[in-house]
Structure 1
Amino acid sequence: MNNTLRNQQFTLARHLRDPLRHAPPPGLEDRRLEVYRELFYGTIEGLLATSFPVLRQTLGEQCWHARVRDFYARYRCRSPLFTELAGAFVDYLQGVQPEASWEVELAHYECVESQLYLSDAKDPPHDPEGDLQEAEPLLSCMARVLAYHWPVDRIGPGFQPKVSSAAPTFLLVYRGADLCVHFARLSPMAYRLLVLQGRGRDRLQALLASPQEGLAMLRQLREQGIIVGTR
């Protein structure tokens, strides 16, 4: 590729990403450029709006489009895959001044849903009928155990808290056999039971929990497919 063509391509790319700061290559009709500006931005914005519907509604149209345009202009994605765009947007938000203190956590919460919906991951080898006390319970690769400072499962246009919760919000997000993504709040005990490592018995001892109660919880989680068995 000769240098002239290369320079023209980079000049056009810079203009399409940030038309207010970068002029287009000379000789191109603005009417034609407008088609590309709208097409490229509209594609990115549409994909992000699908992944972050609550964030978009809660921020409002003006703030949302300002966010997306800044992301589109300044962020340098490391992957060409559209399926990784939501994760890139969360990474971008972590490096900018938030509109609200809960913005990054809400975006991360919605991103997890998008990632699980698209995931084709497979569980590692395991024993579906393994002893949940004497062996190590294995969390499904389609489940995420999350902790947030903000009640992200409640935030929306009608609820925008100014102060974070006194206690963390523990959440379970998982894709079920119906291929739908489900959400559930976790008690502190259930959260720690799932994030601790080691045998089920060791986890219960660390929690000072009754073996009967803890084992019943592990069995229920296995019936739901959240725990797939033992490692």
Structure 2
Amino acid sequence: MHEVLRDQLMSMARYVRDPRHNAPPPGIEARRLAVYRQLFFGNVESLLSGGFPVLRASLGPTTWQALIESFYADYRCQTPLFTEISEEFVSFLEAGGGAALDLPPWVVELAHYEWVEAALLLSDKEEPAHDPEGDLLEGVPLLSNLAWPLAYQWPVSEIAPGQLPQEAPPQPTLLLARRGADLQVHFSRMAPLAHALLVSLQERRCSGRQHLEALAESIGVEGEAILPQGLALLQNLRSQGVVLGTQVEPAW
């Protein structure tokens, strides 16, 4: 008997997920199936509409509806948590989801940009142990877990229904997203050197001097030439809470 019940449930799940390509389960009237479909699909669509308002408005209702239907029908989420469905949607787009809809080329980056705000708001990641007054040049500067350097090919912060880019600009859009003490997420534009420094802090642990010397080498100047500017930048980032301070050496 349990096999029969399982088959019935799977048949219903397949139909509710994608009624255009799956037959309805026998014995259930169409009106009731429509209620189930609207209940489940409507919840997902409502969550994603709230998480991606600019993307939704920029695509328009018809394309947005088709995109969510494709996500709902074709993608298999790796988490049951509603709070993580936005990240799953971004993964769906990054994997080429919705390709049959001929989406604009900026869709993936705009979706990621909108997801970042929710991800930082909900983050419960703890900050590492650090010395807030540590020497940023000789010590190992630590980037806050709530500060993310971002780089996009498309001008994601400017896209809106009336401002849809036709081609990517020659320069990338470099941003810093951070959750402040006010528990709000703030986005700010970054100069290339500042962005490169934050990416360096994010990717490896070494002294501030070593970070700056590596950046100097990458742009073809002497390390000493950018040390004053680089130290001032690190100090400014610390005052904003983007850089926490320096790494605390473990006591053995």
Instruction: Give 1:53's aligned residue.
Output: 53
Which deviates more from structure 2 when the two are superposed, residues 106-115 or residues 198-207?
Answer: 198-207
In structure 2, the partner of 1:135 is 139
Give the superposition deviation at 1:206.
2.3
Correspondence 1:201 to 2:217: no
Cα shift at 1:22 = 1.2
**In 2, distance between residues paired with 1:46 and 1:222?**
39
Q: Secondary structure at the match of 1:210?
A: helix
Aligned to 2:162: 158
Match of 1:73 in 2: 73
Instruction: Compute the TM-score of the two structures, normalised by the length of structure 1.
Output: 0.96
Q: How does 1:175-194 map to 2 (within 5 A)?
A: 175-194=179-198
1:69 aligned counterpart, secondary structure: helix
Which runs of 5 or more structure 1 residues have no equivalent in the other structure? none
Q: Determine whether 1:37 maps to 2:14.
A: no
In the other structure, the counterpart of 1:216 is 232
Aligned length: 231
Deviation at 1:35, TM superposition (A): 1.3
CA deviation vs aligned residue, 1:97-141 (integer Å, no higher than 9, x gap): 251111101111111111111111111222121111111211111
Question: Does 1:147 pair with 2:132?
Answer: no
Task: Please report the TM-score for the alignment, with normalisation by the length of structure 2.
Answer: 0.88
Post-superposition offset of 1:173? 0.5
Tell me how far 1:20 sits from its aligned partner.
1.5
Please tell me the root mean square deviation across aligned C-alpha atoms, in Å: 1.3
User: Where does the alignment leave 5 or more consecutive residues of structure 2 unmatched?
Assistant: 217-224, 248-252
Deviates more, 1:135-144 or 1:196-205: 196-205
For residues 174 and 163 of structure 1, the distance between their equivalents in structure 2, rounded to whole angstroms, comes to 28
Task: For 2:26 and 2:215, locate their aligned partners in 1 and report how far apart those are by CA, in whole Å.
Answer: 68
Between 104-113 and 198-207, the greater mean CA deviation after superposition? 198-207
Structure 2 CA distance, aligned partners of 1:50 and 1:126?
A: 36
Q: Residue deviations 1:34-69, cap 9 Å, x none?
A: 111111111001111111111011111111110001
For 1:89, the equivalent position in structure 2 comes to: 89
The structure 1 segments of at least 4 consecutive aligned residues displaced by more than 4 Å after TM superposition are: none
Give a deviation string over 1:73-106, Cα, whole Å, max 9, x none.
Answer: 1100111111211111111112232511111011
User: Aligned partners of 1:154, 1:200: CA distance in 2, in Å?
Assistant: 33
Aligned-partner Cα distance in 2 for 1:39–1:202: 56
Q: Bigger shift: 96-105 or 164-173?
A: 96-105
